[in-house]
Structure 1
């Protein structure tokens, strides 16, 4: 039924042999459009046949043993996803019968005896109608599939452009991501995962394209079970997955299992470190590709970028930004020195830096990345880099002097960040408490309060626990239950009104929480039982 010129099956429901033969003769003139012709003499058996075969055309008499043709038609037209073309035949020239037939969806009402040539013309029109509908449906599906392919290609090119060129998140980019349901790239931590087939590459381009197509189909269908994930192919015929799904290993093993099962192929995977910002797509992409190359060269089924070794010395490279950020926020001077050393040596050894300005620019780019991470993790905005640091970096005398300048800058920055975090913690929590007190009857969330205070929710959660000894959610619940206690004892409000006043729209949920916190139901508490 999805293609064009599909054979059309017909069911005849008629208990008079002479009429049945007349219909058969008329149908034979329509060959080859007609497929199978089924004939049956009662509506009960026809009903079961319809549910099994779903004929495209039904020709039924009205008067049949036990169940009438109109009663059968009433049942058929209520079946979901089934819309047959129906002709009702009858010996009764009564308007009510014809009217009821048309009301039930019949296309025509034919009186017995009928002219075979005229009846054939009616059937030919109905067959043509079905063929036109099938053709329109096929063309529409074809256009939809082409539009989807075009959209997918556009999306792939768009996302890949951010993977191959560092790009700051801008409003028009966010709107495009929003249109494609990819805003999780701007709100969640994520990884990039590159994978390819291990073993020999197909000799012909056609075989290569077929292998890639099959691999992409299996991987794409597998990933439908994993939210916040996107699959695309790069220009070097490697499949790339961008994913904020929390269990990346589960996804990787699912893809590997299904490709092995359906395509008999083995895969190599390269996985980036955890990224926390949209603009980090470039770094994540580079890391995943490097890790994939390393995995393939060393015949490893998968490799995480942080496991890669530099010059065989066992020095980890993928986690430098994370280590530097953690050391900076935590006031760890030794950690800062170690991260700076690793990063500068990595830039000198593994990037094509030809002169001082290039190294200075790379260092400044790295500082901006670290400052962005600090902002994301702590909510503290950091001032722009001073021009004097830029000038000193461009005039460095040795690699050690570059390290020294960076260490001094980060140590000074660390002192400012830790002082601000320590000194402002209590004030921030007091502001948060005030906002909660004002809005406790609404849908309060950690993210909403953090947004109102212009700080990161993770840092607010950390501060809340540190300053109050409670988690954010426990504090909100305690405040609400305390208010409920007072209202239960001091007001005549109904219990459901009290629940609504403190932010609980679900009365049963409110009752469970209240009893868990107080040991009594709201009703028991009100009457002092």
Structure 2
């Protein structure tokens, strides 16, 4: 729901606006009204509106002062429409520099008001969709890099549209309309890691309904889910969801969650197995897998290890070629009850995957890394550029490409793309008069606020301050 607030000192105008707008039809909620800018600022923190409709001439704090204060607040700035009379039109021009998106002349024409608000609602919806798409790519890339490089302690430099989320891990797509039945879910997007579909459900607070897991998705088993987390706990949330999926496969959705402190396949072992795959040594990989299994005492421990081995290996496969293997593994894993079943999974599922990976990695890592850099250098302006997209172009798995960036190029994929974009933005800021939001779009950012944050993190300066520091180099206007 898009939230809107009215700031107008004349009560009869406020009431008139409230009656003119078809709130439900437009998909907006009226979050209250204020009689001046000072009251508006107080309501702002409570309601956090997406749209503000404000008059210019008001007592105590006028519209221009109010709008100026909005720009300095440490929060997402709402979109502002101003109300102005013909005699005050000069003020409307001044308001443009503070980011006002539109204006409406008094007396208010209901059709013009509805049309203006409708256009703005469409813009906000498009921006939200772009933000979610951006989150999807960034979260997938961050998880790839963190899961493959567990020793790294880098925190994500992006935010979700809401403060809390949970992961759902499935092996089959879930229609997104299923999630609409749970009113505690504010947004939802998905991405893929290997054969697993990862649904990210966003929440406004740390209270989530259990209706979704117990009722709405009861026919989508097996499924794994995490507790609610913030963005800094993304890796833990993924591990919880993966463990939950494993246990649901074996024992059903009501199984008690196993402690996350007990892992059977640790990062050093992952690196060792990956090294044997990269060297093309199938026998060494087989021996390593067998050795790991022999160190497990119980059948349950061996099955846990096999699940983790499979989840690790299938990240490096082309998902289009592994649907059959995935189905076979899940069935065998669910029904395994003996040491012979464990050996059957190892020989007929894990070993063929190892062979397939070795056969696919027939190019040298350095060659793949060079080709990836060349592709990024030629396509960094595409806001949809992602690890998965580049991997698809090079016919390798996203996980393997992420590994190559880290080991061969000594930088992760996201950092390389960001550095390329920020460097190009610096050149544009120093040598052109283009508006910052246009430069942001030119170098591949579809969210100017995110561009500002990334640029400052990389350079220590905001884009505006960087341009000011380079002003003597800017080419004069012609």
Q: State TM-score, norm by structure 1.
A: 0.35
Q: Higher relative contact order by CA 8 Å / sep ≥ 6: 1 or 2?
A: 2
Q: State TM-score, norm by structure 2.
A: 0.38
